[in-house]
Structure 1
């Protein structure tokens, strides 16, 4: 299942969304000056998710638009339905686990453990991303194998 070409495919699939999410997390880490740790952890998580899924949805929509069209109105609805289904199948339970439990936990505790907000946020993000991407990539590969 794991090969150099697969790894390259996964990096190409998630790189822009991850860049947006990481940038957003680092910017939002400055909220720790205004809010307590738990509030900051959830604000960072929410902002990071907004950035990540905005890019993922936009890229997925553009890819679906490349599919030949029959009727403009019919395909707009079909495109949105397929997009929503694919996003839910790929990111559904990993996102719920990550958003409500794992990422806020990591974003709260790792800045405390490291004693540095920025380094702690980066480490927390990395820890949460490893778990999130493991499950998301498994789902992505299962979706691809069922569509072929």
Structure 2
């Protein structure tokens, strides 16, 4: 097995899966933080709004993708049944893949990072960029672990997953 190729393949897989969600989440996160700070002058309010904005934007993208993928996976069922099953599978998938990461990220890492980042860096822009990076690293370590460990329970385009090669074997290579 070519370990560089396998690692590169996994990174591409994760990027295809998470990048659209990240773009939506970041847009809502930074936009919400800027609006909250402009309206209140409070770094604490901006930190809370950034956390909520990141979650709303990210999960709107993740959920709509999961519903669409699950809906397409059952072409022989009626529209109503496809819709109900797709929504149920999407909810399960989002909860399993992102639940633990989101709880830790939203309650601890992201609010603290968005509060202390501007204080540490002496400015909002640099502090928020730092906060975003710190929070995202923590979030993705947990989310990717869940994705790799529980892929069989998730809504995943089969072309998206690396075939028969769990992350542990890629990391060990």
TM over 0.5: yes
Maintained 8 Å contact 1:29/1:118: no
Query: Which residue does 1:82 correspond to in 2?
Result: 89
Maintained 8 Å contact 2:29/2:52: no
User: Which runs of 5 or more structure 2 residues have no equivalent in the other structure?
Assistant: 155-163, 165-173
Query: Which residue does 1:32 correspond to in 2?
Result: 37
Q: Distance in 2 between the 1:60 and 1:5 partners?
A: 21
Q: Which structure: greater helix fraction?
A: 1
For each residue in 1:97-145, what CA deviation from the matched residue of structure 2 results, as whole angstroms up to 9, or x when unmatched?
A: 1111110000000011111111111110110100100100010111225
Matched, 1:124 2:128: no
Maintained 8 Å contact 2:68/2:86: no
Maintained 8 Å contact 1:26/1:118: no
User: Which runs of 5 or more structure 1 residues have no equivalent in the other structure?
Assistant: none
Matched, 1:95 2:102: yes
Maintained 8 Å contact 2:28/2:56: no
1:100-115 correspondence runs (5 A): 100-115=107-122
**Please, which of 46, 49, 59 is the counterpart of residue 53 of structure 1?**
59
Q: Distance in 2 between the 1:29 and 1:39 partners?
A: 8
Larger gyration radius, structure 1 or structure 2: 2
RMSD after superposition = 1.9
Alignment size in residue pairs: 148
Q: Distance in 2 between the 1:65 and 1:145 partners?
A: 17
Sort the Cα spacing of 1:146 and 1:40 in 2 relative to 1 into closer, same or farther, 3 A: closer
For each residue in 1:73-109, what CA deviation from the matched residue of structure 2 results, as whole angstroms up to 9, or x when unmatched?
A: 2222111111111100001111011111110000000
Maintained 8 Å contact 1:38/1:108: yes
Query: Which residue does 1:135 correspond to in 2?
Result: 142
